[in-house]
Amino acid sequence: MCKTQILQQHARRILAHSNRSCLFRSYGTVSAADQNLPSRIVTNSNQNAHITPMLASWQKQGHQVKPSDLRGFIKNLRGSNQFSKALEASEWMGEQKVFDIVPEDYSARLHLVENVLGLEEAEKFFKSIPKNMTDYFVYATLLSSYTKSENTLDKAEATFEKMRELGFLLKPSPFNSMISLYGQLQKLDMVEKLVREMQETKVECDSPTVNNVLRVYADTCKIKAMETFKTWVDEQGIKLEGGTIVAMAKAYLRSGSIEKAIEMYGNVAGSEKEVYRLWDEYKKETKVNDNGYRTVLSSLLKLDNVQGAEKIYEEWKPEGPKLDMSIPSLLLSRYYAEGMEINIDQMVKSIRKKRYEMHLKKIKERLIFIRRVIVVMGLKLKVEQMVKSIRQKKLKEPLILLEAREAKVKEMVTFIKKKRFGMRLHKLKESLIKLGQIGMLVGLIVAILAVIVGALVINVAWNEWLIQQHPPTSYWKVRILKDNPMLYYFLFVRK
């Protein structure tokens, strides 16, 4: 009988242990560190079971309740959205006082009260927290509760100001909470004010704050401000969330910038359909240029859709006058990175083909236009000579013909005559201006010489008058001869 009882006890232990392990695997809410606590209540099929009796029983059995275990236990309950049980455990921890309570414990409990019992009860609990325990974490939790609704804007602003008075605005979390609230209210000026304050007080912008600000700019369609801030974000190396990128792409769409929207969607995984949709819309609305092809190719390659990028490349017809090598270089770089030598050779041949087609198209356009000019002006040039000269690359299209391209064919002769007359008149004006400049220079030189000669004459006359009034002695004559021989000549020798 004793052996039977012993075997039954062992069987019950093994069964209980196996059931508990299965429950842990199925819910995945309790970590291995929580095995010291009665965590079966977390994974029990009866989600309404109270956790306090289990904790009390565990303590009465003489088991030690470690602070780290209990806090981790509560954290896991919060992570699995079992807020009621987490609040029950948090209240038991505060009532039993099995160890010292720290501000972080009050902060966690405040969050649980707000989730389970509502904001009003959370405010009551906040008032009951000892003053020496209401630190940054407690105020940040209260602020987060207020910023969830537009109706509590005043309370959120008052709490934020209180945190400023207490010197708690040293981390990005409070700013992020207020930016989220102001974003819901579309108060862009307040968002920018908070961003400036963070920069002035050197509070580091973390990823949630940056993404929040960009979403606010995108929702209000402030494209220039959004791009300026994104440039700063890129310099800081902060990664954007997928939702933020999509919001920015939609902002570009609302502003009519489909190319930039396609570029933004290239950074969101799994958005190939949206890229193709925008590309088809872009081709319908406007004539696609090289920049458009470059954008869609880059986006598809970022999304690892190489085949789609190759099909778009085949559609590309270069505009000229030179082949934009940045477009095929996108595919070449991908081929080189993946060691696809065959594709590289095919791409080189394709580049040569597209360059030839581009030049051939330009030559045809020039031939058609020049033929029209020849007919209108009555020139007796033969088409064969013209084609030959173009092949020899000796014929250069005059600028006057490029301008005449925009004029009507019937008015082309008059247009060209006016242009020629205008060019002659312009050359005449330039010649007159040059002559006037030369005349001014000559006049200036003559005036300078006249001033110099006049000054010399006045100097000589003045010295002659002085000599007449006071005849110089031999000593002074010698001094004048030594110091200024020319003056000596005019005063004494010339006479």
**pTM confidence score:** 0.58
Tokens matching residue 437: 């400049």
Say how far apart CA 294 and CA 13 lie, in whole Å: 68
- Residue 456 belongs to some domain of the structure: yes
Query: CB neighbours of 159 closer than 8 A, spacing ≥ 6?
Result: 139, 142, 143, 146
- Residue 152 belongs to some domain of the structure: no
Tokens matching residue 93: 């921890």
- Residue 488 belongs to some domain of the structure: yes
Instruction: List alpha helices for 28-102, DSSP H.
Output: 40-43, 52-60, 67-79, 83-96
Say how many domains are in the chain.
Answer: 1
Tokens matching residue 301: 């390659």
Q: At what angle do helices 188-200 and 207-219 cross, to 10 degrees?
A: 150
Tokens matching residue 49: 């079971």
- Residue 441 belongs to some domain of the structure: yes
Give the domain extent around 476: 398-493
Nearest to 78 by CA among 121, 20, 141, 136: 141
- Residue 391 belongs to some domain of the structure: no
Number of H helices, E strands in the chain: 25, 0
| DSSP string for residues in 197-249 | HHHHTTPPP-HHHHHHHHHHHHHTT-HHHHHHHHHHHHHHTPPPPHHHHHHHH
Rg of the chain, C-alpha, whole Å: 45
Q: Per-residue pLDDT for the chain (495 aa), expressed as one digit of tens each?
A: 444 444 344 344 333 333 333 323 333 333 444 445 555 554 443 556 677 777 777 777 766 777 777 788 888 888 888 888 888 888 888 777 777 788 888 888 899 999 899 999 999 989 999 988 989 999 999 999 999 989 999 999 999 999 999 999 999 999 999 999 999 898 999 999 999 999 899 998 889 999 999 999 998 889 999 999 999 998 888 888 888 989 999 999 898 888 888 888 888 888 888 888 888 888 887 788 888 888 888 888 888 888 888 888 888 887 766 777 888 888 888 888 888 878 878 888 888 888 777 777 777 777 777 767 666 555 555 555 555 565 554 444 444 444 444 444 445 556 556 666 767 777 777 878 888 888 888 888 888 988 888 887 787 777 777 666 666 666 566 666 666 666 666 666 655
